[in-house]
Structure 1
Amino acid sequence: MTNNRENSQYALKFAGAALSNMAASAATNPLDIVKVRQQLRTQLPGARSNAFWTVGVEMARTEGVLSLMKGFSASMLRELAYSGMRLGSYEYFKDVLYDQSRGALSREGIGLKVAAATIASAIGSAVANPTDLVKVRMQAYYPDGGPYKNMRHAFATIWKEGAAPTTASGPSSMLGGLRALYRGVNPTTVRGIVLSVSQICSYDQVKQVLKRRNLMQEGVGLHFVASMVAGLVCSITSNPVDVVKVRLMNDSEREFRGVSDCVRSIMTREGPLAFYKGFGMCWARLGLHTVLTFVVFERLRFLFGVGAL
């Protein structure tokens, strides 16, 4: 009976995590696409043409206002898989690791939180990589018009990029298609771990400290403050990895041989500050996304009859 109740609680947490992140992504999609466009540009750091307001206005003028919602369907699918797993299973792995350690890991300690967030985000990032890649491709700029009619067409087109040039389908064709959809999985997974550990753990830790010191009580105010701090922390830590991930995912011409080659190329051509291209929009988007996610997540938990994070 207890196991069934625990399993239902975990399922509700997964649903709440997926729904809250989908809502946050829907609200911040315009910021996300401008950030992606900034990160794909390769001009020298500080160029005014890469300012987020310039990119946004240019998109609205040349591609229409609706261009700011490109990749929306892929973004929703990504949040369902990725965020449902990384945030929804965070407490499950905390419980499992705590039990396995037999008390060696403190429930209040940062070590348990980091370990749980790392496992949850690594699995979520790896599983959801194809949806992330499709989202980036659909959000990128194409001078001759977008090559993808919709999300399904984008998946099929990318699959064909990696499929073996043969009329017969077989293991090699399937493997090539999977490789194409999993392009950039290494930086995606690293980014997912960095973002989730810094975001979820900082939120959890800030909440814990504020409540322990009787500075704030459980409620929307506490959720807002803790999520504001978490949004800044994860923006600072994840932006460099995000730049590399976006460049690799949009590299349909295979310019880069891998992560290290991409990092070296960016450093050589554009300098170290290039790894913080799009940071203003990243912080605006990720900060707002983090606040919306945790405030909605905590509210859904209350409605579902699940205790606060």
Structure 2
Amino acid sequence: MTASGVSNPVDVIKVRQQLKTQTPGVKANAFWKVGYQMARTEGIRSLGNGFAASMMREASYSGLRLGTYEFFKDRVYELSKGSLSRDSLTLKVCGATIAASIGSFVANPADLVKVRMQAHYPAGKPYRHTLDCLISVWREGAHKQGVSSPFAGGIRSLYRGVEATTIRGIVLSVSQICSYDHVKHLIKKRGLMEEGLKLHLTASLFAGLFCSITSNPIDVVKVRVMNDKERKFKGVFDCVRSIIVKEGPLAFYKGFGMCWARLGTHTIVSFLVFERVRLLFGISPL
């Protein structure tokens, strides 16, 4: 939550960039232009859009994926009956995949509301606050024609884009948590650094870059599907096809600069705070 609070303005600009459907090669989508346009037309406070939803998302998503990572690592190690070593990359990937799958699924409604709150609306913001947005998303599904059950329709609406959210969560967590854990282990094993702030900062820098490269394409699709109120896309794969046909493959890396700035900052702050909290509670470092 601390990391998300620090990086929220960057996250808003990243979402705005990813929602733009421009002709490939057009340079009007630069992060500084998007940020300046927002501050000029919507006010500087617009960079804080979706803050409450972002806090809700992090409490559930990151709380679960970081909080249960080592638990699932231990369970997979026990199930392997010694065939996997404690330091193996395979064990780390399995632990991160299970933890991220659970966290992503639970947090999808908050993630969807965050995207809606951060998007640009030329005719004016349609939501008064986070709860109003959550209710509006529910009603989109509950009042949809052909829905057999309003309750089931509302749930489906809140879980729109859950496939992309879960895939992104797995890719992000595997590339972020595992790379941090593995890089940190290798640096310590070779005697380059000892446990401490410098080691945590170095490992988190590598993790931030790696997870930005791997997760940006999925993030673009997730944002597009979640903000699709008119239901232009039939689903995640239809969105992927549409982006490739209309905008080209490079569109999957729209907003990469801000994605790296956001995820890099988020990763560094997350792990520095995470390691410090562990220390304060007498828990050994990751």
TM-score w.r.t. the length of structure 2 is 0.98
* Letter of the structure 2 residue corresponding to residue 54 of structure 1: K
* 1:230 is the counterpart of 2:207: yes
Residue 116 of structure 1 is matched in structure 2 by 95
Question: Is the contact between residue 144 and residue 153 of structure 2 (CA under 8 Å) also seen in structure 1?
Answer: no
| 56, 61, 67: which one aligns with 1:77 | 56
SS of the aligned residue for 2:231 comes to: coil
Report 1:1-309 matches (<5 A): 22-164=1-143, 172-309=149-286
Deviation of 1:115 after TM superposition, in Å, equals 0.3
- Find the aligned partners of 2:22 and 2:122 in 1 and give their Cα distance: 17
- Which deviates further from its counterpart, 40-49 or 107-116? 40-49
**Separation in 1 of the partners of 2:12 and 2:268?**
19
Number of residue pairs matched?
285
| CA apart distance, 1:164 | 3.4
Check the 8 A contact 1:164/1:172 in 2, yes or no.
Answer: no
Matched letter for residue 88 of structure 1: G
Return the alpha-carbon distance in structure 1 between the equivalents of residues 108 and 189 of structure 2.
38
* Percent of residue pairs identical: 64
Distance (Å, rounded) in 1 between the aligned partners of 2:196 and 2:25:
41
Residue 45 (structure 1) shift: 2.7
Checking the alignment, whether the CA contact within 8 Å between 2:180 and 2:203 is kept in structure 1 is: yes
Deviation at 1:171, TM superposition (A): 7.1
Per-residue CA distance 1:196-233 (angstroms, 9 max, x = gap): 00000000000000000000000000000000000000
- Post-superposition offset of 1:44: 1.6
Q: Deviations over 1:106-153 (max 9, x none)?
A: 111000000000000001001110000000000000011111111111
Q: Is the 8 A contact 1:25 1:75 kept in 2?
A: yes
293-302 or 97-106, larger mean C-alpha shift: 97-106
1:80-100 superposed Cα distances (whole Å, 9 cap, x missing partner): 000000111000001111111
For the residues of structure 1 that align with 2:26 and 2:4, how far apart are their CA atoms? 28
- The residue aligned with 1:6 is none
CA contact under 8 A between 2:108 and 2:165: conserved in structure 1?
yes
Mapped partners of 2:248, 2:273: distance in 1: 39
Look up the equivalent residue of 2:231 and give its one-letter code. Answer: R
The Cα shift of 1:62 comes to 0.2
The amino acid across from 2:117 in the alignment is M
For residues 172-198 of structure 1, give each alpha carbon's deviation from its aligned partner in whole angstroms, at most 9, with x where no partner exists.
000000000000000000000000000
